[in-house]
Amino acid sequence: MSSPNVLARRLGTGDAVTIGLGSMIGAGIFAAFAPAAAAAGTGLVIGLGIAAVVAYCNATSSAQLAAQYPTSGGTYVYGRERLGDWPGFLAGWGFIIGKTASCAAMAMTFAAYALPGPWQKPLAIAAVLALATINYFGVTRTAAATRVIVTIVLAILAVVVIAGLSSGAPAVDDGQSLTVTGGWYGVLQSAGLLFFAFAGYARIATMGEEVKNPERTIPRAILTALGLAVTIYALIAVSLLLTVGAQTIASSDAPLVEVVTVRGWDWAGPLVRIGAAAAALGALLALIAGVGRTSLAMARNRDLPGWLSAVHPRYQVPHRAEITLAAVVSVIIALVDLRGAIGFSSFGVLLYYFVTNISAYTQNPSQRLYPKVWQVLGAIGCLILVATLPPVSIAAGAGMFLIGIIYRAVRLRVSRS
């Protein structure tokens, strides 16, 4: 008989790719381009390329580690196994605070597109509670729901790309369509903000305990999902710049809606709003699952309260961790705005992947799937992007890491006494 605290392996390669892709084409593709354009202008395209390279390095490290350690928890587990308890804790804590902020960003993006106006925050909170309920009743339902959402979103994004790349001169010329603003600092900051959108493949690794044949499935699913996401983001970036220009992107709350309306496709505006809302819901659905499972792994080791390690005897999900997450995200939604949540999320997740790359670097040759140069490049890239994030995001992230360090230090001292 299996242990009541062990998750069931139910997901195939297609399910894993769908969950990762659903996370990467969520709120980021509808929300991250505006702050990236404000930081770098047209240089956001360079930033997108940098973010994609760093994401690829991180993805190869995650895939290599997940093949050796196919259990829930992602880099929290990898860091503990390869580097020690403290690096593992810092990775897990970074993932939780970064992805909790991402949950809030996804929910706020959904509400902004679905119901502009004073009811946005209550709607965002309602979305968090509803999707946490879906996760509560089983991971196979999560994969099935995400598959439907991804299909809808891809169809809507295809409409945006066709409109943006349709023949003719740019419909809007802001006079700065070819201007890179902010220099290399601005470009790197845009890369850090856009990285927020690429981190969805982490959900595949954190669900390693629920994937069939994980040694083969996880690496294939991570790289497939990332490759598809990079292609989609590049097409959308070009469509935005050719149609409305960097200045308009930076000042718009819904830049993808601008593309279709500027081209005269007014009928498509409501469809894009529906697509944005669906994308944000898909990403939020996968995020709740991923954060809940990292919380489960940390609670098993008492790096979070032990009662969070409970797995529901019928539905085989970490139900207490997901209920707690829903409550915390609801509080964040009530207190912060979307752009602040994006920068804060990137801070935590980039440090998480720094530990991922260092952990993968220490693997033995028999466990290695990719050259060490990718891990070195990934670790350096993560540190550079963290250092160039907006100062407010750096300060908030550093403060939350300090809280985590103090918590664990106190717990260790109490346990020894």
User: CA separation (Å) from 397 to 81, 99, 346, 356?
Assistant: 25, 12, 9, 18
Q: What is the arithmetic mean of pLDDT over 164-172?
A: 66
Task: Provide the CB-side half-sphere exposure for 165 (13 A, CA).
Answer: 12
Q: What is the DSSP letter of 208?
A: G
Between 135 and 157, the more confident residue is 157
Place of tokens 């609801």: 330
Most confident of 71-85, 108-122, 247-261, 349-363: 349-363
Residue 111 tokens read as: 């509400």
Domain range summary for the chain, segments of one domain joined by +: 13-408
Provide the pLDDT for residue 318.
Answer: 76
Between 8 and 326, the more confident residue is 326
User: CA separation (Å) from 377 to 81, 110, 372?
Assistant: 22, 34, 9
Q: Domain 13-408 classified CATH 1.20.1740.10?
A: yes
Confidence of residue 2 (pLDDT cuts 50, 70, 90): very low
Does the pLDDT value for residue 5 go beyond 60? no
Provide the pLDDT for residue 385.
Answer: 96
Place of tokens 């990898």: 78
Confidence of residue 9 (pLDDT cuts 50, 70, 90): low
Q: Looking at the DSSP assignment, which residues form a beta bridge with residue 180?
A: 41
pLDDT in tens, 347-358: 999 999 999 999
- Quote the CA–CA distance of 398 and 344 in Å, as a whole number: 10
By three-state DSSP, how is residue 123 classified?
helix
Residue 415 burial class via C-beta count within 10 angstroms: exposed 0-12, middle 13-18, buried 19 and up: exposed
Query: What is the chain's mean pLDDT, rounded?
Result: 83
User: CA separation (Å) from 103 to 37, 165, 205, 283?
Assistant: 23, 32, 18, 8
Residue 409 burial class via C-beta count within 10 angstroms: exposed 0-12, middle 13-18, buried 19 and up: exposed
Residue 49 tokens read as: 């390329």
pLDDT in tens, 279-320: 888 778 777 777 777 787 778 777 887 777 777 767 667 778
> Are the C-beta atoms of residues 68 and 367 closer than 8 Å to each other?
yes
Provide the pLDDT for residue 131.
Answer: 86
pLDDT in tens, 223-272: 888 888 889 999 999 999 888 888 888 888 788 988 998 888 989 999 99
Provide the pLDDT for residue 1.
Answer: 43
